[in-house]
Amino acid sequence: MSFYVPYSDLPSEAVALDSAIDSLREELDATNLYHQRYLVLNDEPLKELMLHNRDEEIEHCAMLIEWLRRKFPEFDRELRKYLFTDAGITRIEAVPDGGNAGDPAARSLGIGSLLR
Ligand SMILES: [Fe+2]
C-alpha cells in the first residue's frame, strides 16, 4: 500500500486504486520471477511449469489493466491510443487525443507517416 496523504482523508475509490496498482506490481514481479526461473532451469517439466505460471501472471496483469481501464476514462483513452497498433510507440503522442495512429483519418492528415 502506498498512501501519500492521510489514509483517513481518502475515499474508498482511492483505496481500491491503490490495491489494484499494488496487485499489478505484484503480478508483474511474479511474471519476472517465473520468467527468470524458466530461463535457468534444466528440468524440462519444471521449466514448462514455470512458463505456464508466467503466462498465468501475464493474464492477471491484463485483468488488472482492464479493471483500471473500466474505472478511469484516462486509462481507457491512453490504452486505446497506445495499444494494438504498429505505430512507433514514442511517436503516437503526435496523434491528437481521440485519434488512432492506425486510423486512416490520422494517415490522411499526414500523421500516420510520422508514426512509423
Ligand atoms: Fe497472479
Higher per-residue confidence, 100 vs 95: 95
Give the distance (Å) from ligand 1 centre to CA of residue 75. 21
User: Maximum distance among all alpha carbons in the chain?
Assistant: 54
Give the distance (Å) from ligand 1 centre to CA of residue 110. 42
Averaged confidence pLDDT in the chain: 88
Confidence of residue 1 (pLDDT cuts 50, 70, 90): confident
Higher per-residue confidence, 96 vs 20: 20
What pLDDT, on a 0 to 100 scale, did the predictor assign at position 100?
57
Give the distance (Å) from ligand 1 centre to CA of residue 38. 16
Q: Which three cell numbers stand for residue 36?
A: 527468470
Give the distance (Å) from ligand 1 centre to CA of residue 82. 24
Q: Where are the beta strands (DSSP E) in the chain?
A: none
Predicted confidence (pLDDT) at residue 34 exceeds the cutoff of 90: yes
- Please, which contacts does 28-31 make with residues 24 or more away whose CB atoms are closer than 8 Å? 28/57, 28/61, 30/54, 30/57, 30/60, 31/57, 31/58, 31/61
Tens digits of residue pLDDT in 48-82? 999 999 999 999 999 999 999 999 999 999 999 99
What pLDDT, on a 0 to 100 scale, did the predictor assign at position 97?
64
